[in-house]
Structure 1
Amino acid sequence: MTIRYTFGGDEFIFVEIDEAMSLDAFFKGTAITRELQRRAVPGVTEICPANASYQVRFDPDVIAPDALLAVLKDIEATLGDAELDMATRIIEVPVLYNDPWTHETLMRFRERHQDPASTDLEYAARINGLDDVDAFIAAHSGSPWFVSMVGFVAGLPFMFQMVERERQLQVPKYLRPRTDTPKLTVGHGGCFGCIYSVRGAGGYQMFGVTPAPIFDPAQRLDYLRDFMVFFRPGDIVKFKPIDRAAYDAAIAAVEAGTFSLRVRPVNFELSAFTRDPDAYNRSLVEVLDAD
């Protein structure tokens, strides 16, 4: 894995860990950016981790570009091939799959889809070699997902499925983006899942909706009190299918300000996960169930 450094204007360094997204590349970038944050380097104003890369903004009047580059290369050398682990959170996110709102939306935009005769879920199930929609939902919700970056719009998490590469669900984006996507849609494009934090344009396939707000400037709910954006890189998400009654009850709790998410601290070890992903995923989910 050869890391490539590129200057962007006078205030940015872009660092590409790898050309392909992988958990190794993600963890390497996360470890470097966390160490950079820990060092509190004078002149560094923003650190933005991404899927297999990161970007640093700096004040050239405080730290010279070459000096910051030297710091980043020192962190890279210091970390080396050390065991990569991370103190993080596992979060259970309820999802109403095959809901009426994304269904109404996707039907309005069928001319922009690869298969106008199928719904997004039917299309996703077929091209992934699964028998039907229920089998696809089981595959989508059956294993955890890593939040690899947050952005594009405020609070939107990009998520990478925690299974072997050959088992990862993959679905292309729409041929042309929609001009509308319901708020809190659970979507998928390429190998990445996401949750649309706000209503707006989008091109990812739509599978369902969650009742759980993930971006709220008013910070009304307990899990948003510390920051209006809930997700952060390194979070682990476990989707939980729910029915319409449970969804409606959750929406009522959101409106009353009493809704909460199940969030538990975990320590993720990349080497242990790599040895046996399925067993390791089960151990992560057990943390959620250990109330």
Structure 2
Amino acid sequence: MTRYAFGGDEHVYGELAPEMSLDAFFKGLSITNLVREAKIKGVTEVCAANASFQVRFDPDVIKPDDMLALVKELEEEAEHGPQLIETRIVEVPVFYEDPWTYETLMRFRERHQDPSGTDLDYTRKINGYATNAELIAAHHGTPWIISMVGFVAGLPWLYQLVEREKQIQSPKYLRPRTDTPKLCVAHGGAFGSIYSVRGAGGYQMFGVTPLPIYDPSQTQPHLKENMVLFKPGDFVRYRPIDRATYDAMAAEVEACRFEARIGKVRFSLDEYKADRLGTIRKLEGALP
């Protein structure tokens, strides 16, 4: 059952479950989509998250109790509607074990659970993989779904489409770093992330991507319509690349000529539950 609360005078907060699951995420996504489609007078912002959501409203236009009542009505509608989204899948090239994240993680080993190795070494050990190559293969082996965008502008939270027992798990640093390379591909808890800007952070660093995901100047071709690439419900397919490919892609980005691989896709949660591998193949086949 959804737990509702008010956040000050301007927010309705709904917690769908104590932990992330595809069912909880899809329910929250359905509710927030219905709130947007209803065009409720006074609603100023709607935000879907991993297993919760929040609606911001103007209390001078709509009373908090009335806002809550409307959201609960839409929740009833969401529970009986199809768990189906029209969305996108984005290929994210990743240079794993790159020199920039390596230099950064070595500067902060005293803040880490295992100062004797790298972040990949540590994550590989606690997840039972024999080599870093096996962990990397598991990381890019299946698509991920964007469950939330935020914390800093454009930063996506990703949840892998594998059985719960196969989820990569890795705690954050004991103390956060004061530096993380821009576009670092990282992992914390059960969630992946891509750091949209350089800054502080605590997730385990795996590699770096040349793909711009946040561009306030909107000079990149794939960010002309929106300065933020991802939105909740998008899918990501990681693709490992080497240094030469990374450098070539980075040069294309610098020249504003990089062509992101993005495909449109229809995703049904019921179909995924009935045929996980078949649904994943359809997702991957949507990439151009």
TM category (shorter chain) comes to over 0.9
Q: Residue 59 of structure 1 corresponds to which residue in structure 2?
A: 58
CA distance in 2, matches of 1:41, 1:163: 37
- What whole-Å deviation, never above 9, does each CA across 1:213-249 have from its counterpart, x for those lacking one? 1111111111100111111111100000000000000
Does structure 1 residue 45 correspond to structure 2 residue 39?
A: no
The answer to whether 1:287 aligns with 2:283 is no
1:270 lines up with 2:269 in the alignment: yes
Look up the equivalent residue of 1:34 and give its one-letter code. Answer: N
CA contact (8 A) 1:216 1:228 kept: yes
Question: Residues of 2 paired with 1:280 and 1:197: CA distance?
Answer: 29
Q: Give the CA RMSD over aligned residues.
A: 0.9
Q: Cα distance, 1:145 vs. partner? A: 0.5
Report the equivalent of 2:95.
96
Alignment of 1:133-144 (within 5 A): 133-144=132-143
Q: Which residue matches 1:119?
A: 118
Say whether residues 1:242 and 2:236 are aligned partners: no
* Count of paired positions: 288
Asked if 1 retains the 8 angstrom alpha-carbon contact of 2:31 and 2:74, the reply is yes
The CA deviation string for residues 136-155 of structure 1, in whole angstroms up to 9 with x for no partner, is 01000000001101111110
Check whether the contact 1:218–1:228 (CA below 8 A) recurs between aligned residues: yes
User: d(CA) in 2 for partners of 1:209 and 1:42?
Assistant: 43
> In the alignment, residue 232 of structure 2 is paired with which amino acid?
P
Distance 2:82 2:45 in 1: 26
Please state whether the residue corresponding to 2:286 is helix, strand or coil.
Answer: helix
CA distance in 1, matches of 2:117, 2:205: 12
Residue aligning to 1:162: 161
Give 1:254 shift: 0.5
Show the counterpart of 1:106: 105
Task: State the Cα distance separating 1:161 from its structure 2 match.
Answer: 0.7
Q: Is the 8 A contact 1:3 1:18 kept in 2?
A: yes
Give the secondary structure class of the aligned counterpart of 1:214. coil
Q: Which amino acid aligns with 1:210?
A: T
* SS state at 1:80 partner: helix
| Equivalent-residue separation in structure 2 for 1:263 and 1:123 (angstroms) | 32
Q: What is the CA distance between 1:252 and its match in structure 2?
A: 0.3
| Equivalent AA in structure 2 for residue 247 of structure 1 | Y
Secondary structure class of the residue paired with 2:117: coil
How far residue 91 of structure 1 moved from its aligned partner, in angstroms, is 0.5
CA distance in 1, matches of 2:141, 2:260: 18
Write the letter of the residue equivalent to 1:143: T
Q: Deviations over 1:165-198 (max 9, x none)?
A: 1111011100100000000000100000000000
**Counterpart of 1:280 in structure 2: which amino acid?**
T
Determine the C-alpha separation between the residues in 1 that align with 2:73 and 2:9.
21
Deviations, residues 92-125 of structure 1 (Å, cap 9, x unaligned): 0000000000000001111111111111111111
Match of 1:6, as an amino acid? A
Segments of 5+ residues of structure 1 without an aligned counterpart are none
Q: How is 1:81-230 mapped onto 2 (pairs within 5 angstroms)?
A: 81-230=80-229
Is 1:33 aligned to 2:27, yes or no? Answer: no
Cα separation, 2, equivalents of 1:5 and 1:78: 17
1:44 Cα deviation from its structure 2 partner: 0.4
Q: Is the 8 A contact 2:27 2:79 kept in 1?
A: no
CA displacement at 1:80 relative to structure 2: 2.1
TM-score normalised by structure 2 residue count: 0.98
Secondary structure, in 3 states, of the residue corresponding to 2:205?
strand
Q: How high is the TM-score relative to the length of structure 1? A: 0.97
How far apart, in 1, do the equivalents of 2:100 and 2:77 lie?
Answer: 50
User: For the residues of structure 2 that align with 1:161 and 1:189, how far apart are their CA atoms?
Assistant: 12
The answer (yes or no) to whether the contact 1:92–1:262 under 8 Å persists in 2 is yes
Amino acid at match of 1:219: Q
Task: Please state how far the C-alpha of 1:82 moved relative to its aligned partner.
Answer: 3.2
In structure 2, what is the Cα distance between the partners aligned to 1:149 and 1:247? 27
Q: Which range moved further: 62-71 or 275-284?
A: 275-284
The share of aligned pairs that are identical, in percent, is 59
